[in-house]
Amino acid sequence: MADEAAFQFLHNEVIQYIYKSAESGETENGRHIAKLENMGFRVGQGLIERLTKDTARFKDELDIMKFVCKDFWTCVFKKQIDNLRTNHQGIYVLQDNKFRLLSQLSAGKQYLEHAPKYLSFSCGLVRGALSSLGVKSIVTAEVSIMPACKTCITRPSSSQRQEKSVTLMDNCAASISIL
Amino acid sequence: MADEAAFQFLHNEVIQYIYKSAESGETENGRHIAKLENMGFRVGQGLIERLTKDTARFKDELDIMKFVCKDFWTCVFKKQIDNLRTNHQGIYVLQDNKFRLLSQLSAGKQYLEHAPKYLSFSCGLVRGALSSLGVKSIVTAEVSIMPACKTCITRPSSSQRQEKSVTLMDNCAASISIL
């Protein structure tokens, strides 16, 4: 269990370090989130390059998503995504029922307001990985109860706009077996 | 091989992030090193707490050092220390012939000047772990050729002063089997 802890502790330190800077406020908070997201982006790019070194070419976008849900997620978070849903029009919803980066926070709704800073790095991570695989995307995350986390991937080219993606999550009824 | 890469990539990002700030110079460099070292300290404290959860009480200081060389090092760097030497007076020299955080840099002497920023985090890591086990220490690291790294642990209470520790490294002739 302690094997992956180094990553987790370092991730927490980074968040603390970035948020420690004196200024705070709405705009500052947005900048911190962006910094974390960018960091995740580059880590994701590096990781996917290493992971796909000996992998066969992907058939299609869904194949890429399955790889992200299984191999990529397992590499970083030591478990795979519990549920992948898609509307087959460029929106994917990845559900992790026990998201590792949130597992050190109390379960429940008490600390929900702090969730964004713990999620932005991994949003970047997914976006970076997908970008290296040639899929431009917008990645957002949503927590309604800790430590479960929904990650929503939207292709900007898809007809739906990103702002609608949250409501569209419910429309992604087609659950896909990723096993 | 990709399993531990997340930690490694994140570590590189943190270094880049800390060094990216506009100011640079001798004093600034020192402050960056201190920041990284402090980050490592807290990660080390957290890790050792988790690692020693089910461990029997340590007999003595040497026992603690062996634990750091084997279990702790393996947890973070996926290999154990290659050689542990001590003068039995509070100085320990840990030699890692293929230090993971340096393995992404070219082997040889070309980038030796950049070594300190890649070592300060792990110095803090060891200091934090030892501090949580009740051993106050000064931890320094030395690279003479990449990717080999010598970590020197000095107890401040030991009669030798830390400045002497580097020359004392050669006096630590008593090699200890850590296997």
Give one word for B106, left, alpha or beta, with left for phi > 0 and alpha for psi -120 to 50.
beta
pLDDT, residue A179, reads 47
Higher pLDDT, B122 or B167: B122
Percent of chain A with pLDDT over 90: 47
CB distance B39–A46 less than 8 Å?
A: no
Residues A37 and A121: beta-carbon distance below 8 Å: yes
Mind giving me the DSSP string for B41-78?
Answer: HHHHHHHHHHHTTTPPPP-SHHHHHHHIIIIIHHHHHS
Mind giving me the DSSP string for B107-158?
Answer: SBSTTGGGHHHHHHHHHHHHHHHHHHTT---EEEEE-SSBT-EEEEEE-TTS
pLDDT, residue A112, reads 87
Look at B17-21, B106-110, B164-168 and tell me which has the smallest mean pLDDT.
B164-168
**Nearest-5° Cα angle at B47, B158 to B104:** 90
Contacts of B42 in chain A (CB under 8 A): 9, 13
pLDDT, residue A70, reads 93
pLDDT, residue A43, reads 94
Nearest to B159 by CA among B93, B94, B88, B85: B88
Which secondary structure element, helix H or strand E, spans residue A62, and what is its range?
Answer: helix A61-67
pLDDT grade for B127, boundaries at 50, 70 and 90? very high
Contacts of A70 in chain B (CB under 8 A): none
pLDDT grade for B166, boundaries at 50, 70 and 90? very low
Copy the structure tokens of residue A145. Answer: 């109860």
CB distance A10–B42 less than 8 Å?
A: no
B49 touches chain A (CB under 8 A): no
Contacts of B11 in chain A (CB under 8 A): 10
pLDDT, residue B45, reads 95
pLDDT grade for A109, boundaries at 50, 70 and 90? confident
A14 touches chain B (CB under 8 A): yes
pLDDT, residue A21, reads 67
What digits encode the pLDDT tens for the residues B134-163?
Answer: 999 999 999 988 889 999 999 887 545 545
Percent of chain B with pLDDT over 70: 82
CB distance A46–B5 less than 8 Å?
A: yes
pLDDT grade for A71, boundaries at 50, 70 and 90? very high
C-alpha A81/C-alpha A67 separation (Å) is 10
What digits encode the pLDDT tens for the residues A31-41?
Answer: 888 999 999 99
pLDDT grade for A178, boundaries at 50, 70 and 90? low
A22 touches chain B (CB under 8 A): no
Percent of chain B with pLDDT over 90: 48
Q: Is the pLDDT confidence value at A84 over 50?
A: yes
CA distances from A90 to A68, A94, A149, A167, B37 (A): 15, 13, 20, 14, 44
pLDDT, residue A134, reads 92
The reported pTM is 0.84
Q: Is the pLDDT confidence value at B28 over 60?
A: yes
What digits encode the pLDDT tens for the residues A127-163?
Answer: 999 999 999 999 999 998 888 999 999 988 754 554 5
Nearest to A85 by CA among A164, A163, A153: A153
Q: Is the pLDDT confidence value at B165 over 60?
A: no
- Which of the listed ranges A104-113, B25-34, B97-106 does the model predict with the highest average pLDDT? B97-106
Our measurement of the distance from residue A175's CA atom to the centroid of its chain's CA atoms, rounded to an integer in Å, reads 18
CB distance B46–A9 less than 8 Å?
A: yes
Nearest to A10 among B1, B10, B50 (CB): B10
pLDDT, residue B129, reads 95
A13 touches chain B (CB under 8 A): yes
What digits encode the pLDDT tens for the residues B67-89?
Answer: 999 999 999 998 999 999 998 88
